[in-house]
Structure 1
């Protein structure tokens, strides 16, 4: 597997394991991949309506990062703009694919353009997206507006 191969999920239990491990802060750090971020977000939207993702996921991720020895600072850890961007992306995907079961929807998202690691760079320059400001607060895209995420 190369660094950019998509790691699909084999079953819904694996998706739930990631989501529940994130919430419980028991997921091994090595399992907190790009794909896991997107799968956990979709799982939260579908199965944990008690969690208001836009408001609560930032603190959930920060707390998880710290629990595995990570740091949330100006250069590593939690990234507000990326988190909110992907929440919007996952919500749009979920609205379009509501009839699919969780596994099919997650894997479809991961194989789509929206699931790519570089998807935000269609809307943000690298300089903007990886700035301290974008890490700390939600910044608007500087290349292309995102109403069609």
Structure 2
């Protein structure tokens, strides 16, 4: 499914991804570095390399805290979006269940960014635009209306 998105910015090595993830958790990542690719990389790092973190339960708090720390607002029109985040978490979990566990973090993340699960429009495979971009979906996870998410 072509997206029209520009080619994703890939990561040169594992350290670049860990910097993103650690910066998210510490709320020290420069705002300009919090890109779509960074969201995917940080989530992948948390799911793959941080078994001490319950990503399903904690990702929303991490992102909300980070957004506030860099001057962002988490409200009905901007900032954290629960349904988009949880959709990507489901996609990344599904991808990780199929990927080679011995692959480097950078190879894992970069491959993911080139797959459907890493594309910006991936949640639209499961949600209508109206439902996905609703205030209710931003505030809390809402179930998809087009197809079930992986692992559901």
TM range (shorter): over 0.9
- Unpaired runs of 5+ residues, structure 1, are none
Q: Using the alignment, how far apart are the partners of 1:35 and 1:61 within structure 2?
A: 14
Q: Which runs of 5+ in 2 are unaligned?
A: none
Give distance in 2, aligned partners of 1:76 and 1:88. 22
Pairs within 5 Å for 1:66-85: 66-85=68-87
* In structure 1, C-alpha distance between the alignment counterparts of 2:149 and 2:21, rounded to whole Å: 26
Distance 1:119 1:91 in 2: 14
> TM-score, length-normalised on structure 1?
0.94
After superposition, residues 1-149 of structure 1 pair within 5 angstroms as 4-97=6-99, 98-147=101-150
- Cα distance in 1, alignment partners of residues 7 and 42 from structure 2: 19
Taking only aligned residues, the RMSD between alpha carbons, in angstroms, comes to 1.5
TM-score using structure 2 length? 0.92
